[in-house]
Structure 1
Amino acid sequence: MSLFWRIFLLNAAVLVAAGALLLLGPITVSAPVVLTEALILAGGMTLMLGANALLLRLGLAPLQRVTRAMATIDLLSPRPRPEVAGEGEVAALIETFNSMLDRLEAERATSNARALGAQEDERRRVAQELHDEVGQTLTAVLLELKRVTGHAPEPLREELTQVQEITRGSLDEIRRIARRLRPGVLEELGLVSALTALTTETPTPRGLTIRRRMEKDLPPLGKEAELVVYRIAQEAFTNTVRHAGATLLELSLRRRPGGVELRIRDDGRGLGDAHEGAGLRGMRERALLIGATLTLSTGATGGTDVRLDVPVRNGNA
C-alpha cells in the first residue's frame, strides 16, 4: 500500500469513528449551542486530532530515522546502515538508500585504491630519480670537490672543505627523502624493521624522547596491509614531530585478538579544534582500503592517541 493511501485511510478511520460516535451516542447539538455541548465537541476534536497525530507519527517514524541517518552518516565509513522498517514506499525508500550507500562505499574503495596506487607509483618514480639522477650527480660533485681540494692552495682548501660538507649533507638529506618516498627496508626486512628505521632516521626536535614496543611474532599482514600500516605510522609520526610540541612519543605494534594494533601516542598539544586536513583524511582512506579501523582521540594525560586496528582473517590481513 502506498504512503498516500495509508495516510488517507488513517484519516478516514478517525473521521468515521468520530462520526459514528456522534450518530450513535447520546450527545446532541442544539441551536444555539450551549456551553456543555461546545466543551464536548472540543474534547472530541482534540481526541480525534491527537489520535490522528499519533497514528501519523507511528507511520512516518521510519522516515524520520532515515532522515537522521542521511544527515549524520559518515560518507567515508557509512555504517551501520539504517534499519529497514515500515511498509510500502517507506521500506522501499530505506532499501534504496542502503543500496546507494553500498554502491558509494564500493566505488569509493575502488577509486581510493586506484588513486593511492598511483600515488605510490609516483613516489617510487620520484625516489628512483632522486637516487639515480640527483644522488649520482651530487656524488660526482663530491668526488670532484675532493680532487680539487687536494690541489688547492691552503687559503682556498678550507672553503672547499666547507662546500664538501654542505654537499655531503644535501646528499644525505636526498637519500633520506628517497627512503621515505620508497621504504625499501619495508620490502626487504619487513614492517618492524621499517618502523624502527622510521623512528631512528627521521630528524626529531631536541627534547623529544621516542619509545618503541614492537612484537616480533606478528601474524602475516600482506604487502598492501604492511604498506598501509607504515604510511599511517609515517603520517602520525611526522605530525607529532612537526606540530605537536611533544616531549614523549610512544610507538607500539602488537598482536591483538583477531588482528594487529598499531598505536602512536604523544604528550603534545593534541588535536584541539583543528579541522581534519588532507593528512588525517588520507590516513582514514588508507585504513578503509584494508578494512582497518582508525581511531584518533585525546590521550588520558593530553596529547594525541592514534590507534589502527588491522583485522587478520585466515592468516592474512
Structure 2
Amino acid sequence: MSLYWRIFGLNAVVLGTATALLLLAPVTVSVPVLLTEAVVLVGGLGVMLVANAALLRIGLAPLVRLTRLMTTVDLLRPGQRLSVRGHGEVAELITTFNAMLERLEGERAASSARALLAQETERRRIAQELHDEVGQSMTAILLGLKRAADEAPEPLRGELQQAQEITRASLDEVRRLVRRLRPGVLDDLGLVSALTSLATEFATHTGLRVLRRFDSDLPALDHETELVLYRVVQEGLTNVARHAGATRAEVGLRRAGDTVVLAVTDDGRGLGAAAEGAGIRGMRERALFVGASLDIVPVPPGGTEIRLTVPVPRKQP
C-alpha cells in the first residue's frame, strides 16, 4: 500500500469511527449547545486528534529515521544502514537509500585509496630528492667547512666550527624528515622494528615516555596494511605531542582472532567535545584503504585511545 493510501486509510478509520458513534449513540445536540454536550464533543474531537496523530507518527516513523541518518551519516564511518520492514514506498525509499550509501562508501574508499597511493608516491619522491640532493649537498658543505676550519687561524676557526655544528644539526633534521616521509626501516626490518624506531625517536624529540607492547605471534601482513599501521601510529603520536598534554603514551599491537588491533593510548586531557581534525580524518581514510575500523575512545580517568582493528588476510590455499 502506498504512503498516500496509508495516510488516507488512517484518517478514514478515525473519521468513520467518529461518524459511527454519532449515528449509533443515543446522543443529540441541543440548540443552544449545553455545557455537558460541549464537553463531550470537545473530548471526542480531542480523542480523534490524538488517535490520528499517533497513527500518523507510527506510519511516518521510518521517514523520521531516514531523515536523521541522512543528516548524520559519515562516509568515513561505513556500515550505517536502516532496517527495512514491510513493503511499499517507504520501504523502497529506505532500500534505495541503503544501496546509494553502500555505493558512495565504495566510491569514497576507492578514491581515498588512489589519493593515499599518490600521497605515498609523492612522499617517496620528496624523500629521495632530500636524501640525494639536499643531503649530499649539505654533506659536501660540512666536509668543506671542516677542511677550512682545520686550516683557518683563530678566531675564524671557532666561527667555522660553529657553522659546522649548525650544518650538522640541519643535516640530522633533513635525515629525520626523510625517515618520516619514507620509513626505510619498515621495508628493511618489518613493522615491529619500524614502530620501535618510531616510538624511540618520538620519545627522544618530545621527552614523553613511550611504552611498547607488541605480541610475539603477530601474523604476516601485506605492505599496504603495515604502512597504514605505521602512519596511524605516526599521526597518533603526533597528536599526543601537540594536543593531549600527556606525560606518557603507549603503542600496542596484538592479535585478536582474525584481526590485528593497534592501540595508541595517552594519559592526557582527552578529546572532550572537540571536533575531529584533519589528522583523525586522515586516519579514518587510511583505515578505509585496508578495510579496517578506527575507534577513538576515552580512557578513564583521563586520556584517549586510538584503536585500529585490521582484518588479517586469509591464506590462499
Q: 1:240 to 1:39 in 2, by over 3 A?
A: closer
Q: Distance in 1 between matches of 2:242 and 2:6?
A: 61
Q: Distance in 1 between matches of 2:200 and 2:23?
A: 90
Q: Distance in 2 between matches of 1:10 and 1:200?
A: 69
Letter matched to residue 97 of structure 1: F
Cα offsets for 1:175-207 (capped at 9, x unmatched) = 11101100111111110011011112334234x
Letter matched to residue 193 of structure 2: S
Map 1:294-309 to 2 at 5 A.
294-309=294-309
Q: Distance in 1 between matches of 2:238 and 2:32?
A: 85
Unaligned ranges ≥5, structure 1: none
1:275 corresponds to which residue?
275
1:204 corresponds to which residue?
205
Cα offsets for 1:122-150 (capped at 9, x unmatched) = 11110000001001111111222222223
Cα offsets for 1:69-113 (capped at 9, x unmatched) = 223333321433011135422112211221221122111111111
The farther-off stretch of 13-22 and 286-295 is 13-22
Q: 1:87 to 1:50 in 2, by over 3 A?
A: farther
Residues 73 and 79 in structure 1, CA contact (< 8 A), matched pair in contact too: no
Q: 1:304 to 1:33 in 2, by over 3 A?
A: closer
Q: 1:59 to 1:87 in 2, by over 3 A?
A: farther
> TM-score with structure 2 length normalisation?
0.91
Letter matched to residue 133 of structure 1: E
Residues 293 and 310 in structure 1, CA contact (< 8 A), matched pair in contact too: yes
Instruction: Give 1:288 shift.
Output: 1.9
Cα offsets for 1:226-283 (capped at 9, x unmatched) = 1110000001112223443322221111112221111122222332443321111111
Q: Distance in 1 between matches of 2:176 and 2:62?
A: 56
Q: Distance in 2 between matches of 1:63 and 1:166?
A: 66
The farther-off stretch of 180-189 and 208-217 is 208-217
- The answer to whether residue 160 in structure 2 is matched with residue 151 in structure 1 is no
The farther-off stretch of 297-306 and 165-174 is 297-306
Instruction: Give 1:315 shift.
Output: 4.4
Q: Distance in 1 between matches of 2:229 and 2:197?
A: 14
Residues 59 and 86 in structure 1, CA contact (< 8 A), matched pair in contact too: no
Instruction: Give 1:299 shift.
Output: 2.0
1:214 corresponds to which residue?
214
Aligned residues: 315
1:182 corresponds to which residue?
182
2:113 corresponds to which residue?
113
Q: Distance in 2 between matches of 1:86 and 1:35?
A: 47
> TM-score with structure 1 length normalisation?
0.91
Q: Find runs of 4+ consecutive structure 1 residues off by over 6 angstroms.
A: none
- The answer to whether residue 126 in structure 2 is matched with residue 126 in structure 1 is yes
Residues 176 and 201 in structure 1, CA contact (< 8 A), matched pair in contact too: no
Instruction: Give 1:43 shift.
Output: 3.3
Residues 292 and 308 in structure 1, CA contact (< 8 A), matched pair in contact too: yes
Cα offsets for 1:281-316 (capped at 9, x unmatched) = 111111122222222233223122222121224249
1:162 corresponds to which residue?
162
1:58 corresponds to which residue?
58
The farther-off stretch of 5-14 and 125-134 is 5-14
Residues 221 and 313 in structure 2, CA contact (< 8 A), matched pair in contact too: no
Identity %: 64
Instruction: Give 1:114 shift.
Output: 1.2
Q: CA RMSD in A?
A: 2.1
Letter matched to residue 205 of structure 2: T
1:71 corresponds to which residue?
71
Residues 219 and 315 in structure 1, CA contact (< 8 A), matched pair in contact too: no
Q: Distance in 1 between matches of 2:251 and 2:51?
A: 61
Map 1:5-44 to 2 at 5 A.
5-44=5-44
Instruction: Give 1:166 shift.
Output: 1.6
Residues 251 and 263 in structure 2, CA contact (< 8 A), matched pair in contact too: yes
Q: Distance in 2 between matches of 1:96 and 1:8?
A: 25
Letter matched to residue 204 of structure 1: H
Residues 220 and 315 in structure 1, CA contact (< 8 A), matched pair in contact too: no
Instruction: Give 1:44 shift.
Output: 3.0
